Structure 1
Amino acid sequence: MSFAIDKHFCGDVLVDSAVFVEAKKCVQEAYEIELAFITKKECCKDELEVIKGQDQLKRSSFEDYKLDQQLYLTSFVTVYNQLFVSLAKQVIPHKNYSPPNLVTDIHVLDRVFII
């Protein structure tokens, strides 16, 4: 990946820097253009720095790895994927069940007690 950095200096002071776009000019740019006609010397200057990236990339396939590397990679991916498998949602059949209203206490009515 290559990219460019554009810098605008007013005198020795960095006013703006931008990546991929043009840097903003300072407020005195219009005044400096008129002054440059008179003195033939400019105060503001622009610098463009281009950073070159790598042009050729090495591409490899799964078959290019050794057998033990293939085994390790396959087992790692399999175990890693198993970490994110969620458990089945448990169904509670009596979750919304409400017991019937008690009219009388049947144990007392029949006189059946656990001793």
Structure 2
Amino acid sequence: MKKVFHKISSVCLALIVLLSTVSFTIDSHYCGDTLVDSSLFGHVETCGMDKQLSRNDCQSEVQDDSCCSDKQLVVEGQDDLKMSFNTLNFEQQVFVVSFVHSYINLFETLDSHIVPFRDYTPPYLVRNVQKLHETYLI
């Protein structure tokens, strides 16, 4: 259960970092107050009312009082995720160094053949307690 929760939380945090750093643009075309087309990638399709009118073959002009409008919504992502070690003050640097040192030493392997009573001699046996109380393990 703990491993599943750990994996789910790590995927969620990775998605949060990804979504906070991605920037995108939404283009919208309005004809009057009505939304005609909206696009996340590429160009929007127009309603056809903003085309150029040609008077002659040599001249063309755009209609001045067009009811159409294009709007663009830009969502900027976060750019400065990497924090430099030089911007930390002295107390923060000491904390980071001590944390890393203690975390690395946490996973050092211990000797597998530890005998805690190696330096001690066994006690002197004055009398046999099992024979004294006549209790024997069968």
TM-score interval, normalised by the smaller of the two chains: 0.3 to 0.5
Larger proportion of strand: 1
| TM-score (structure 2 length as normaliser) | 0.36
| TM-score (structure 1 length as normaliser) | 0.43
